[in-house]
Amino acid sequence: MTEPQDFSSFNLDPRIQEAIRAMGYVTPTPIQQKAIPLVLAGLDVMGAAQTGTGKTAGYGLPLLQRILPKANTSASPARHPVRALILAPTRELADQVNENLTEYASRTPLHVGVVFGGVDIKPQTAMLRRGVEVLTATPGRLLDHIEQRAVSLSQVEVVVLDEADRMLDMGFLPDISRILNLIPKNVQSLMFSATFSPEIKKLAKQFLKDPKLVEVARQNATADTITQELYEVGGGSKVPALIEVLRNHGEDGGPMRQVLVFVNAKMTCRRLTRMLEHAGIAADSIHGDKTQDERLKALEGFKAGTSSVLVATDVAARGLDIAELPYVINFDVPFAAEDYVHRIGRTGRAGSKGLAMTLATKDDDRLVDAVEKLTKQKFERRTLEVRPSDRPVSRGGRRYGRDRGETKAYTYTPPKRQAEDPLFDHPYVESGSASWAGSSPKKAEAPRSSLSGFSSRRGESGKHVCSLLGGGFRRG
């Protein structure tokens, strides 16, 4: 198949073409070049596409084209049944996909909408009752709406499983199966995934009919636009190492701006954010215990530059689209090597350059090996010179900030200590050790979990840490 060089060669409806022109898309990305003709031809597609490749338009544009003949301006909800259903693992991704689809369909009469959990269900119900032809949803909330009979899937023609690997990781398989059993058998099915585990292949076999495989990069490959660096740091030196990097490894040796810092557990997320703030670095966090509103607020502040560092867990960060994010730092090496690919895919998007740094201790060797194996590369082990002033200190009176002669910009003298704070009165302990309540990698966040379940999920040692942190613990 010859690959079209611009969007006009797909013969998309002029209204769709106008919308993508308005969004500034000129040249289709490789995944779009390959996927769009196949989806337009009505074939099932399995797309191996890493984050930031433009996969949303890869399925979104042809999907709109296919249902466009039935678009109408009738006010009757019955004339706007769900014809295209996109399932996404997280609220953020669902929101992002919906935003894109809304733009692509903005010049057509198609109704486009999204439903996800964590927010009031009523406005979503009202929206569904008005009729939505293109519906993006997280599985759990969609099932809630189905149970309430707010929506029917009996007229679905195209179904998309976006970030299917993540949906499986998050335990959504039963929900997905229930949903897919409610849609007609002869639908066109599309599945997109950044990684291809045996489970994903099994899912594809189950739900796709003779799918065409569309691959734009080597399996589990990371984008060439991302420079990857690995720093070996001593056991207790990760926080000072991070502070050093944040302050002095930006452009021209200055502070880094717009840095996404990944951690493995919610508790590390809150704790690290506080430590950075105490070091005079504007930081915010997003993790599974924050409400949707809190997450969006943190994200907006980050995008607007109010905070220069956003500390995030994998699940919470999924689906974030921050244009041209220059830096990603893995404060924790991810427990699952696939997450490394997802994490660093937040930078170097759509051709822009990005820097991904990983801080690793000797204890992380096994995890680093797994990342190297998956991404087919060998990291050069770099070391980092940590200035004494970058070390956060625990007892009152000493400074957190840098102290280099005339440079006092970050100097911070802690206010008189108000109360004993266990976070700062004990040395930093790496995640994964016993005093971190044995935070289990895959259970660090689960779909539809809540903080109230914390101690019960983690047993006695979890209770111990909770009570240690209780009261004096402010949200990051």
What residues make contact with ligand AMP under the rule CB under 6 A? 25, 27-29, 32, 52-57, 100, 321, 349-350
Q: Side-chain half-sphere of 354: how many Cα atoms within 13 Å?
A: 29
Shortest distance (Å) from residue 398 CB to ligand AMP: 44
Shortest distance (Å) from residue 4 CB to ligand AMP: 12
* Location of structure tokens 């084209």: 65
Q: Calculate the alpha carbon distances from 438 to 194, 267, 342, 382, 466 in Å.
A: 29, 12, 24, 29, 13
Q: Which residue lies nearer to ligand AMP by CB, 215 or 403?
A: 215
Helix H or strand E segment including 68: none
Task: Determine contact, residues 371/243, Cβ cutoff 8 Å.
Answer: no
Amino acid at 287: H
* Location of structure tokens 């509103």: 293
Task: Determine contact, residues 407/274, Cβ cutoff 8 Å.
Answer: no
Shortest distance (Å) from residue 60 CB to ligand AMP: 8
Q: Which residue lies nearer to ligand AMP by CB, 52 or 211?
A: 52
Q: Which residue lies nearer to ligand AMP by CB, 324 or 425?
A: 324
Q: Which residue lies nearer to ligand AMP by CB, 56 or 138?
A: 56
Q: Which residue lies nearer to ligand AMP by CB, 54 or 62?
A: 54
Q: Which residue lies nearer to ligand AMP by CB, 35 or 263?
A: 35
Q: Which residue lies nearer to ligand AMP by CB, 162 or 445?
A: 162
Q: Nearest to residue 159, comparing CAs of 126, 132, 119, 186?
A: 186
Strands (E), 299-353: 309-312, 327-330
Question: CA-to-CA distance for 413 and 399, rounded, in angstroms?
Answer: 5
Torsion of CA 319, 203, 36, 30, to 10 degrees: 60
Shortest distance (Å) from residue 216 CB to ligand AMP: 11
Contacts of 244 (CB under 8 A, 6+ apart): 384, 385, 386, 387, 390
* Location of structure tokens 């759509």: 350
Question: DSSP string spanning 109-141?
Answer: S--EEEE-SSS-SHHHHHHHHH--SEEEE-HHH
Q: Which residue lies nearer to ligand AMP by CB, 296 or 393?
A: 296
Question: CA-to-CA distance for 130 and 181, rounded, in angstroms?
Answer: 24
Shortest distance (Å) from residue 283 CB to ligand AMP: 24
Task: Determine contact, residues 93/292, Cβ cutoff 8 Å.
Answer: no
Shortest distance (Å) from residue 96 CB to ligand AMP: 7
Task: Determine contact, residues 73/131, Cβ cutoff 8 Å.
Answer: no
Q: Which residue lies nearer to ligand AMP by CB, 15 or 349?
A: 349
Question: CA-to-CA distance for 334 and 6, rounded, in angstroms?
Answer: 38
Shortest distance (Å) from residue 425 CB to ligand AMP: 43
Shortest distance (Å) from residue 397 CB to ligand AMP: 47
Q: Which residue lies nearer to ligand AMP by CB, 20 or 180?
A: 20
In this structure, what token pair is assigned to residue 182? 């409610």
Give the other-Cβ count within 10 Å of 211's Cβ. Answer: 18
* Location of structure tokens 């490894």: 249
Shortest distance (Å) from residue 346 CB to ligand AMP: 11
Shortest distance (Å) from residue 440 CB to ligand AMP: 30
Q: Which residue lies nearer to ligand AMP by CB, 27 or 74?
A: 27
Q: Which residues pair with 311 in a beta bridge?
A: 261, 285
Shortest distance (Å) from residue 358 CB to ligand AMP: 23
Task: Determine contact, residues 70/239, Cβ cutoff 8 Å.
Answer: no
